[in-house]
Amino acid sequence: MSLLDLFKLAAPILLKGTGYTLIFAFSAMFGGLLLGFALAVARIVPSRLCQWPAAVYVSLMRGTPLLVQVFIVYYGLPGIGISFDPLTAGVLALSLNAGAYISESLRGAILGIGRGQWSAGYSLGLTYAQNLYYVVLPQALRLAVPSMSNTLISLIKDTSLVSVITVTELLLATKDVIATTFRPLPLYLAAAGIYWVLSLCLERVQGRLEKYFGRGQAV
The per-residue pLDDT for 214 is 64
* pLDDT above 90 coverage of the chain, percent: 53
CATH number reported for the structural domain that contains residue 41 in this entry: 1.10.3720.10
pLDDT in tens, 48-86: 888 999 999 999 999 999 999 999 999 999 999 999 999
CA angle 190–193–198, rounded 5-degree value: 130
Q: How many domains does the chain have?
A: 1
Single pTM value for the model? 0.86
Is the predicted pLDDT of residue 33 greater than 90, yes or no?
A: yes
In the chain, the percentage of residues whose pLDDT exceeds 70 is 97
Q: Examine residue 219 and state whether it is found in any structural domain, yes or no.
A: no
Task: Give the domain range for residue 131.
Answer: 3-212
Q: How far is 59 from 13, CA to CA, in rounded Å? A: 38
Residue 26 is predicted with a pLDDT of 93
Instruction: Provide the 8-state DSSP code for 167.
Output: -
What is the C-alpha end-to-end distance of the chain, expressed in Å?
Answer: 59
Q: How far, in Å, are 16, 206, 215 from residue 78 at the CA level?
A: 29, 38, 45
217 has a pLDDT exceeding 70: no
Residue 99 belongs to a domain: yes
Q: What is the pLDDT of residues 173-210, one digit of tens each?
A: 999 999 999 999 999 999 999 999 999 998 898 888 77
Q: Is 217 part of any domain?
A: no
Higher pLDDT, 193 or 147: 193
